[in-house]
Amino acid sequence: MKIKLDENLPGSLSSVLAALGHDVETVQGERLQGASDSAVWTAAQREGRLLITQDIALSDVRFRAPGTHAGLLLVRLAAPSRRELEVYVSRLFREDPVESWAGCLVVATDAKVRVRRPRSGD
């Protein structure tokens, strides 16, 4: 899976996901740190990458409806330390069917993972 990590996630997650076989780019590696949400989103979509972020502003389905993009994973942990984020996201990518998340809005919290898929017929 092609992935872009937002700057609000630990850079160490890049090598963890790459070791699991994913093609990972980071906002920092592309010199997009500090760029607008729109610029980060556009870069991820241009490259066909699932964007992983903690930025809730990127998850507004009025502007990013499932099926209109490459995919978005919004991570919302109660206590998101850098280590906890790395452990949590790497566990998701080892245990969940992440390949099925293409084009979806996925919200992952401490309690559950919700996947909003494109509507049938879209």
The whole-number pLDDT of residue 57 equals 87
Is there a contact between 118 and 103 (Cβ–Cβ < 8 Å)?
A: yes
Q: Where are the domains of the chain?
A: 2-116
The whole-number pLDDT of residue 121 equals 56
CA angle 44/50/62 to nearest 5° reads: 80
pLDDT reading at 14 higher than 90: yes
113 beta partners: 108
pTM of the entire structure? Answer: 0.93
C-alpha to C-alpha distance for 30 and 86, rounded to whole angstroms? 20
pLDDT reading at 122 higher than 60: no
Residue type at 75?
A: V
